[in-house]
Copies of this chain bind each other. A is one copy, B any other.
Amino acid sequence: MKRIAFILAIFITGFCKAETGYELWLRYQPIANAQYVNACKQLIRSLEIKGTSPTLRAARSELERGLNGMLRINLPLSHSGSILLGKPENIPAITPAIKEQLSKAGTEGFLIKTITIGGKNRILIAGNTDQALLYGVFHFLRLIQTEQPVRQLDILSVPRSPLRLLNHWDNPDRTIERGYAGFSLWQWNNLPAYIDQRVIDYARANASIGINGTVLTNVNANALILTPEFLQKVKALADVFRVYGIKTFLTARFSAPIEIGGLKTADPLDPAVREWWKKKADSIYQLIPDFGGFLVKANSEGQPGPQDYERTHADGANMLAEALAPHKGIVMWRAFVYSHTSDDRFKQAYEEFKPLDGKFSSNVLVQVKNGPIDFQPREPFSPLFGAMPATPLMMEFQLTQEYLGQSTHLVYQATLYKETLDADTYTNGKGSPVSSTLSGFAGVANIGNDLNWCGHPFAQSNWYALGRLSWDYTLSSETIATEWIKQTFTPQPAFVQPVLKMMMRSRELLVNYMTPLGLTHMMYNDHHYGPMPWGNTLNRPDWNPVYYHKADKAGIGFNRTGSGSNALRQYAAPVQQQFENIDNCPDDYLLWFHHASWDHKMQSGRTLWDELCYRYHTATDSVRAMQQQWKSLQRFVDAERFSHVQQMLAIQASEAAWWRDACLLYFQTFSGKPFPAGYEQPKHDLEYYKDLRIHLTY
C-alpha cells in the first residue's frame, strides 16, 4: 500500500510538466525572476556572427535555443547585433587591448566582454577558433541560467589542461562495464547510417563543460572496433563530435594484430606488428583526420600486453606512439597494473612505471588512477603523481560509482576529485599539488541510455564536475555544485543552499558509512555492491577485503610504514612525514598506513573502536537527515525527479545501516569490545549479514 501511495503521489502532480532529467544542465527553462529577465532583454536583442562553419552554426543554434527558452527572446541576426560572436581576425573594430587579451586565450579559451562600438554597448564573445567561440556561447548561457549579471562583462577563460576526456567502458554489444545507467549510447548496429539525436545532445553537453575528447570503447578492449566495418561507424560519430570540438579516441587491444590482422604475434618489437599498427593508424586517419589516439590497458587483469613478449610497457606504448605520431595522435597508457607478485598492491603501479620514466615517446601519456588501489571512497593520492617528471601524466577519475553506491547513492564526487588534485606531492617542494603534475584529465563515464543519462539524478553532477574541473581545477567544489544545482533544478536560494550542503557532505558521509578512518575495499566480490569485510575466498589475496583491513585481536589496518610494506617510501619525504607517525597520522588515513590498536587514541579523543562506531553511526544518521531535508524541498522540484531522489535516499539510508551493522558486528569479533551506549542496535546478527546473497545482474 505504501507503494500505491507513492504512485498516486506521482499522479496527483503528474499532469504538470514532467522532467525526465534528459535535458541535463541545459534545460533553458523560462527564468522566473522578472527583474533579471528585463535586465537581460535590454542588453540582448540581436546577434551578429562573424564567419561560417558547422561549429559556429551549432553555437548560434544553442544561443537561440537558450535565449528563447530562458528569456523568450528570438534572436534576429543583425549587422550591429547586441551580441557579437567571432574571431578577432573577422572583427575589424576590435581594439589592441582586446587583441592582447585574446593572445592569451590559446586555441580554446574565450573572452566575453562588454565593449562599445560606435557608442553602442555590445557583448563580445570572442576566441581564436570556432571551438573557443562555442565554449564562449555555452559560458554565456551559463551566466544567464545561473542569473549572473550580464552588464559590464569581462571574462577571459582559458582551460588549464589541454586534454579533458571521458572514458567510456562500453562494449560492442552495448553493455557497459561498471555502467549503472542503461545501455551504451553507441548504436553500433545502426551506425554509420543513423545518428541518434542523443549522440548530438551528448556532444552538446560535453561542449558546454569543455570536454574535448571521448574514448568510445572499454579499456577491456575488443579488436572488433579496429576493423574497417567498425571504423566507418566510428567515423560517423567522429563527424558529429568534431562539430562540438570533441576528438574521438579508441581503446586498442594489444593483441589486435593477431585477432584481426592475421599475424602470429603482437610483439611490439616485431617489424610486421609495427607495420600493421602503422597501416591501421593510417587507415583510421584517412577516415578521421583529427582522430585523437589510443587508450590502452595492457598486462592488467588478464588483458594482453607487451609483457607477454617480455617487453616493457614503454616498448608497447612507443610502438603505438610511432604509428600515431605522423598524424599527431597520442597514446594514453594506463598505469593500473598489479599483475606481478608484490607484498602490497599499493606499491605495484609505482614499482612498474617509475623505472620507465623518460623511456616513453613524446606522444605517450601515462594515465594514473587517482589513488593507488582502485577508485575507493577515499584513497591517498597515487605516489606516481610527481614521481615521473619526464613523462606526461593523465589523471583518471571514476565518475561511474562502482564503489560509491552505483546508481542508488547520492554522492557528489567533486570533493573527492579536489582532495586528490589539491594534495601536495612536494615533488618540487612545498606547493606541488597533484594538479600541477598533470597533462590531462580522464573521467570514466557514468553515462548510459537511461532517460536521465546517469541513473541517479544527482550523478549528472559528477559528469558536470569532471568537465568543469578539467577546464579549471582551481574552481571550488562549492562553485561547481552551485552552478549545477541552479541549472539542473532552480536558482532559488531556498533550494540551492540546502542542496549544496547535502552535496558537499555526501561523499564524506559515504566514506564514513562504508570505509571510515582509512579502511578500504570491503565490498562484495564481482559486482562490488554492499559490505563484505569478511571476504577471503578469492584466489588472489589482494582481491579479498581481509587483505586490506587486516583486522585481528591486536587491531586493524595495513601497516605501510617502514615496519610494514613501506609503501610510504614511494612518496616524497614530507608526505611520508604526514602519515608515518601513528600518533599524528590524520584519522582519515590512519588505517591506510597503520595497523592500529583497538585502543589507539584518535584525534577526537575517542579510542579507535569507539571512533569507528561513532563514524558508522553518525554517517548513517546523517543520511536519514538528508532524507528529511530532501522531503522538505518537494515544492521546488518536479514530481518525477523528486520521487526518484526520494526513493533512492530511502535505499541509501537502509544501506548505510547495512554497511554499519555488517562492518561493526564483524570487526567486533576482533575488538571484543561492546558498542558504546546510546547507539541504535544492529537489526540482525553477524551471521545474517554473512548469509546475505546479493544477486546483482549487471
Taken together as a complex, chains A and B put the C-alpha atoms of A190 and B3 apart, in Å, by 15
How many Å from the CB of A61 to the closest CB on chain B? 4
Q: How many copies does the complex hold?
A: 2
A607-647 contact mask (Cβ, 8 Å, vs B): 1 or 0? 00000000000000000000000000000000010011001
Whether A7 is near chain B, meaning CB under 8 Å from some CB there, is yes
Of A123-131, A135-143, A168-176, A261-269, which binds chain B?
Answer: A168-176
Per the bound structure, the CA–CA distance linking A643 and B189 in Å amounts to: 18
Considering the chains assembled together, what is the distance between the CA atoms of A466 and B173 in angstroms? 29
Report the Cα distance A12→B62, complex, angstroms: 10
Closest to A171 in B: B697
Q: Type the 1/0 row for A185-201, where 1 means its CB is closer than 8 Å to any CB of B.
A: 00011100111011010
Contact present for B174 and A698 (CB under 8 Å): yes
Q: Which of B7, B240, B449, B648 meets A7, CB within 8 Å?
A: B240
Contacts of A698 in B (CB 8 A): 173-174, 188-189
**Beta-carbon contact of A65 and B449 below 8 Å:** no
Say yes or no: B61 contacts A648, CB within 8 Å.
no
Task: Establish whether residues B193 and A11, one from each chain, have CB atoms under 8 Å apart when the complex forms.
Answer: no
Q: Which residue of B lies closest to A5 (CB)?
A: B54
Instruction: Assess the A11–B61 pair: CB atoms within 8 A.
Output: yes
Say yes or no: is A423 at the interface (Cβ < 8 Å to chain B). no
Asked if B3 and A240 sit within 8 Å, CB to CB, the answer is yes
**Contact in complex: A200, B10 (CB < 8 Å):** yes
- Would you call A650 an interface residue if the criterion is a C-beta within 8 Å of the partner chain's C-beta atoms? yes
Q: Does A542 contact B (CB under 8 A)?
A: no
Q: Tell whether A554 is near chain B: CB-to-CB under 8 Å.
A: no
The answer to whether A22 and B449 touch across the interface, beta carbons within 8 angstroms, is: no
Give the residue of B7, B450, B654 whose beta carbon is less than 8 angstroms from that of A243.
B7
Return chain B residues, CB-CB under 8 Å to A309: none
A3 to B239, Cβ gap below 8 A? yes
Question: How far is it, in angstroms, between the C-alpha of A698 and the C-alpha of B68 when the chains are bound?
Answer: 40
Q: Which chain B positions have C-beta within 8 A of A640? A: 197
In whole angstroms, how far apart are the Cα atoms of A243 and B224 in the complex?
A: 46
- In the complex, the chain B residue whose C-beta lies closest to that of A407 is B190
Counting CB contacts under 8 A, is A475 at the interface?
Answer: no
Q: A183-B182, A451-B451, A697-B189 are in contact. Are A11 and B58 (CB under 8 A)?
A: yes
Distance in Å from the Cβ of A313 to the closest Cβ of chain B?
Answer: 30
Mark A422-455 against chain B: 1 for CB-CB distance below 8 A, else 0: 0000000000000000000000000011110000
Q: Does A540 contact B (CB under 8 A)?
A: no
Across-interface contacts of A188 in B (CB, < 8 A): 697-698
Cβ-closest chain B residue relative to A53? B4
Q: Are A239 and B54 in contact (CB under 8 A)?
A: no
Contact with B along A43-68 (1 / 0, CB 8 A): 00000000000100110010011001
Which A residues, 533 to 586, have Cβ-Cβ distances below 8 Å to chain B? none
Which residues of B are found within 8 Å of A406, using beta-carbon distances? Answer: 189
Q: Which residue from B20, B61, B651 sits with its C-beta under 8 Å from A190? A: B651
- The verdict on A145 contacting chain B, using a C-beta distance below 8 Å, is no
A189 to B695, CA, bound (A): 8
Q: Is A696 among interface residues, defined by CB-CB distance under 8 A? A: yes
Q: Which of B65, B449, B651 contacts A450 (CB 8 A)?
A: B449
Q: Does A8 contact B (CB under 8 A)?
A: yes
A102 to B14, CA, bound (A): 31
When distances are taken between beta carbons in the complex, the residues of chain B under 8 Å from A11 are 57-58, 61
Is A679 among interface residues, defined by CB-CB distance under 8 A?
Answer: no
**Does A37 have its Cβ within 8 Å of any Cβ on chain B?**
no
Q: Distance (Å) between the CB of A515 and the closest chain B CB? A: 21
Please indicate the chain B residues that have their CB under 8 angstroms from the CB of A243 in the complex.
Answer: 4, 7
Binary interface encoding of chain A residues 147-190 relative to chain B, with 1 for a CB under 8 A from any of its CBs, else 0:
00000000000000000000000001111000010110000111
Contact digits for A66-80, partner B, Cβ 8 Å, 1 yes 0 no: 001100000000000
Question: Does A670 sit at the interface, judged by CB under 8 A?
Answer: no
Q: Which residues from B are CB-within-8-Å of A172?
A: 697
List residues of chain B with CB within 8 A of the CB of A230.
695
CB proximity of A59 to chain B, nearest CB, Å = 10
Indicate if the CB atoms of B696 and A195 lie closer than 8 Å.
no
Given that A3-B239, A183-B182 are known contacts, is A651 also in contact with B58, CB under 8 Å in the complex? no
Tell me the minimal C-beta distance from A204 to chain B in angstroms: 10
Q: Counting CB contacts under 8 A, is A15 at the interface?
A: yes
Choose one: B3, B175, B180, B408; the contact of A195 (CB below 8 Å): B3
10 A-B pairs closest in CB distance: A15-B65, A11-B61, A172-B697, A183-B183, A193-B651, A3-B239, A173-B698, A194-B647, A173-B697, A4-B54
25 A-B interface contacts by CB (under 8 A): A3-B236, A3-B239, A4-B54, A4-B243, A7-B54, A7-B243, A11-B57, A11-B58, A11-B61, A15-B69, A20-B197, A175-B175, A188-B698, A189-B407, A189-B696, A190-B408, A193-B651, A193-B654, A194-B647, A194-B651, A195-B647, A197-B643, A198-B451, A229-B695, A449-B451
